[in-house]
């Protein structure tokens, strides 16, 4: 008999135990094993070389934190059945199963209008059939349809085990110490009040640090100007490849990637034809990078130049600021690029692009973090905290970016 009670040596938490045979079977399933080949933070390794960790590592870590959270709640006399525990562990384990190559970067590039959450939901339904309905409760929790709301909050909220793991893990692998959070302290302070997840007042400072760390990680890592520029390069490469394929140009690609180059897949036909999902599940980062390496010597000058630049880390320069770039500023950059590379107005869009990036560390209106004091009074974290600028974290910060080749130097942009 195969021993399924394995131990995984995780660099962030140490030894992580697989709690049951069923969870082991889920981990071993090809749907989940595919996540070993999908980077957690996409192109971030081009700025922070250590950021090569995967979605697989993340879901294992999130499952571990979920186990700790359930154990904590049980010690506080919160009744949790064995079925509920297994279901919430399965839900967090599978929450990212629908991510495609390079995670968020290519989310709407290969399949238009389809989020990874939608794909995750479809895959969980397929797994539920395969495991004879054993994931029914996990899916109910995942979709926030279970009456005990705190289970879904542990999976998806503003203080869930998903966020706790990715902040801690991404901080570890990037070396950005500002992202380190007191996950163990936060978990020990969790409680349930009227079937909703709350934090005991003693844990308020750890939650404050969590929110501040999230803000810093977004602007220092996830929305780093060089990272968003590199991600846009990858998106433009795929757009160019799809454009050439539509014109009948034969490009090297794995069979799975070829499917998405040759077919325009969007939400409507994706949901109607199950073959699209099957081909999608054959994709990972390796499909994209093998193609990029080969396309670097393509006969198409636009595709080859973009791919060669990405492979050599000759990335586009990205300027980021608080005010939108004017039409005149953008046109000056476009004209300089057209003159330097000898390209036309249609081709310049592959080398010059603007985008809006935005983030807020805390949302006051949805799934707010509740603090409970010794008298049982609930308050939003912004009300309970004595940190004067915490409410400012709820404000959405918007920044504007423009990316362009370094070869044209510093154009006349008012930064």
More confident of the two residues 216 and 412: 216
Domain boundaries, the chain: 7-94+135-223
| 20-76: pLDDT as tens digits | 999 999 999 999 999 999 999 999 999 999 999 999 999 999 999 999 999 999 999
Burial (CB count <10 Å: 0-12, 13-18, 19+), residue 42: buried
Measured CA to CA, the distance from residue 192 to residue 201 in angstroms comes to 13
Own/partner long-range contacts of 67-71 (Cβ < 8 Å, ≥24 apart)? 67/17, 67/19, 68/184, 68/187, 69/154, 69/161, 69/187, 69/190, 70/154
Residue 415 in this model has a pLDDT that exceeds 60: no
Residue 372 in this model has a pLDDT that exceeds 80: yes
pLDDT tier for residue 366 given thresholds of 50, 70 and 90: confident
Percent of the chain at pLDDT exceeding 90: 87
From 13-17, 316-320, 385-389, the region with the lowest mean pLDDT: 385-389
pLDDT tier for residue 367 given thresholds of 50, 70 and 90: confident
Helix (H, G, I), strand (E, B) or coil at 385: coil
Residue 195 region by backbone torsions, left for phi larger than 0, else alpha for psi between -120 and 50, else beta: left
pLDDT tier for residue 412 given thresholds of 50, 70 and 90: low
pLDDT tier for residue 5 given thresholds of 50, 70 and 90: confident
Residue 414 in this model has a pLDDT that exceeds 60: no
- Average pLDDT rounded to a whole number, residues 382-393: 80
Residue 6 in this model has a pLDDT that exceeds 80: yes
Of 271, 242, 247, 243, which is closest to residue 259 (Cα–Cα)?
A: 242
More confident of the two residues 293 and 390: 293
- Average pLDDT rounded to a whole number, residues 233-247: 96
Confirm if 115 and 121 have CB atoms less than 8 A apart: no
β-sheet bridge partners, residue 191: 198
Q: CATH says 7-94+135-223 is which class?
A: mainly alpha
Burial (CB count <10 Å: 0-12, 13-18, 19+), residue 139: buried
| 92-149: pLDDT as tens digits | 999 999 999 998 888 889 999 999 999 999 999 999 999 999 999 999 999 999 999 9
Measured CA to CA, the distance from residue 380 to residue 368 in angstroms comes to 7
Average pLDDT, the chain: 94
């Amino acid at each position: 008999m195969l021993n399924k009670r394995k131990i995984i040596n995780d660099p962030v938490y140490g030894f992580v135990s697989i709690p049951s045979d069923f969870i082991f079977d889920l981990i071993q399933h090809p749907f989940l094993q595919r996540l070993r080949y999908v980077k957690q933070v996409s192109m971030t390794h081009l700025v922070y070389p250590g950021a090569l960790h995967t979605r697989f590592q993340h879901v294992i870590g999130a499952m571990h934190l979920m186990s700790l959270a359930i154990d904590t709640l049980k010690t506080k006399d919160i009744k949790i059945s064995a079925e509920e525990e297994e279901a919430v562990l399965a839900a967090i384990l599978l929450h990212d199963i629908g991510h495609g190559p390079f995670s968020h970067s290519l989310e709407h590039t290969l399949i238009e209008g389809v989020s990874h959450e939608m794909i995750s939901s479809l895959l969980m339904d397929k797994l539920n059939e395969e495991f004879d309905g054993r994931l029914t409760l996990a899916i109910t929790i995942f979709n926030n349809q279970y009456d005990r709301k705190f289970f879904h909050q542990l999976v998806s909220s503003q203080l869930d085990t998903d966020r706790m793991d990715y902040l801690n893990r991404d901080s570890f692998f990037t070396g950005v110490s500002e992202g380190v959070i007191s996950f163990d302290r936060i978990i020990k302070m969790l409680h349930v009040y009227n079937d909703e997840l709350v934090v005991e007042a003693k844990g308020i400072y750890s939650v404050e640090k969590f929110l501040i760390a999230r803000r810093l990680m977004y602007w220092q890592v996830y929305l780093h100007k060089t990272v968003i520029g590199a991600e846009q390069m990858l998106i433009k490469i795929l757009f160019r490849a799809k454009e050439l394929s539509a014109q009948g140009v034969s490009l090297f690609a794995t069979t799975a990637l070829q499917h998405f180059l040759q077919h325009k897949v969007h939400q409507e036909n994706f949901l109607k034809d199950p073959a699209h999902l099957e081909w999608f599940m054959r994709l990972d980062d390796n499909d994209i990078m093998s193609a990029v390496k080969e396309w670097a010597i393509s006969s198409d000058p636009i595709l080859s130049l973009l791919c060669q630049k990405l492979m050599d880390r000759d990335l586009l320069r990205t300027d980021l600021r608080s005010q939108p770039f004017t039409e005149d500023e953008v046109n000056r950059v476009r004209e300089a690029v057209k003159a330097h590379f000898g390209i036309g107005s249609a081709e310049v869009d592959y080398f010059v692009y603007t985008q809006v990036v935005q983030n807020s560390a805390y949302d006051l209106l949805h799934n707010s973090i509740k603090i409970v004091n010794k008298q049982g009074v609930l308050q939003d974290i912004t009300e309970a905290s004595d940190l004067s600028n915490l409410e400012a974290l709820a404000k959405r910060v918007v920044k504007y970016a423009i990316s362009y080749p370094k070869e044209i130097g510093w154009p006349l942009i008012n930064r």
